[in-house]
């Protein structure tokens, strides 16, 4: 018999009822106890228990044949309690910001833009405020150019074909040929720049956060142009390089 959407939802409800009941019992219940307490027909209860056991949501003691919550429930709870990516990255950004006395952020790609996942704001009177959740076009910000540098030649060509390089400021790159050359330079050096291309008065430098085999995102420093001197540029790059390695190591600890 083909299940309707109503019967499918009913089965889900019954499965959740079983899990809630088992979790609330002071001692693992038996099949007979579940049958009497939940009011689920015997055949349905048998099949639901079989499914829950096969997915490791439940376990059955081979000696007593009683049921207890399975390893998958524990794993789901562990994942739910794990700090978010932003929470994990933020302490390292705060350290970077403290060392450089500048604003910094961690970005991930979102389609043809980047999103700020975490940031640390400089305490200096003149500084850039980088808000978590902020989006920016890939071509206009340093972190976005890092994302573009991670694309294959074919992927980059497709991006350039569909992208419209709308000016965000008078300094935003408008020519696709120039952007392509800049991305090639990013690939060669490992660092990307945005010189007042997204916010007037603010220059930024970014680098990739990656392990040997996986790209996680990009971190940058966003600095008032007046403080973005040649002398400090070398400091910024070295600080970003160190921070990127530390953050990549932290993120790669995920199973």
pLDDT at 1: 39
In the chain, the N- to C-terminal Cα span, in Å, equals 40
Dihedral class, residue 14 (left if φ above 0, else alpha if ψ from -120 to 50, else beta):
alpha
What pLDDT sits at residue 4? 46
Q: How many domains does the chain have?
A: 2
> What is the mean pLDDT for each group of 10 consecutive residues in the chain (255 residues)?
52 91 92 93 93 93 92 79 84 96 96 96 83 94 98 96 96 97 97 97 97 93 95 96 96 73
- The pLDDT assigned to 77 comes to 76
Residue 159 and residue 189 in one domain: yes
Q: Which residues contact 61 (CB under 8 A, 6 or more apart)?
A: 28, 67, 68
Q: 73 with 143, same domain?
A: no
**Structural domain that includes position 229:** 85-251
Quick one: pLDDT at residue 184? 97
Give Cα 242 distance to the centre of its chain. Answer: 20
- The last residue of one of the domains, among 23, 56, 81, is 81
Q: What is the CATH number of the domain that holds 75?
A: 1.10.10.10
């Amino acid at each position: 018999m083909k299940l309707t959407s109503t019967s499918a939802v009913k089965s889900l409800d019954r499965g959740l009822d079983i899990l809630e009941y088992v979790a609330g019992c002071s001692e693992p219940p038996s099949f007979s106890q579940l049958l009497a307490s939940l009011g689920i027909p015997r055949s349905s209860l048998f099949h639901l228990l079989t499914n829950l056991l096969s997915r490791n949501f439940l376990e059955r003691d081979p000696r007593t044949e009683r049921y207890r919550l399975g390893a998958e429930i524990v794993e789901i709870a562990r994942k739910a309690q794990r700090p978010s990516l932003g929470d994990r990255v933020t302490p390292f950004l705060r350290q970077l910001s403290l060392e450089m006395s500048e604003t910094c952020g961690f970005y991930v790609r979102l389609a043809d833009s980047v999103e700020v996942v975490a940031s640390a704001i400089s305490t200096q009177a003149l500084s850039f405020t980088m808000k978590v959740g902020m989006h920016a076009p890939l071509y206009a910000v340093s972190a976005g150019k890092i994302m573009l540098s991670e694309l294959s030649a074919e992927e980059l060509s497709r991006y350039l074909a569909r992208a419209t390089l709308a000016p965000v400021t008078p300094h935003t790159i408008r020519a696709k040929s120039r952007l392509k050359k800049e991305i090639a330079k990013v690939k060669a050096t490992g660092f990307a720049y945005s010189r007042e291309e997204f916010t007037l008065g603010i220059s930024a430098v970014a680098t990739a956060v990656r392990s040997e085999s996986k790209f996680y995102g990009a971190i940058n420093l966003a600095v008032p142009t007046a403080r973005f001197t040649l002398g400090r540029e070398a400091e910024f790059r070295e600080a970003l390089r160190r921070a990127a390695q530390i953050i990549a190591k932290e993120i790669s600890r995920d199973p």
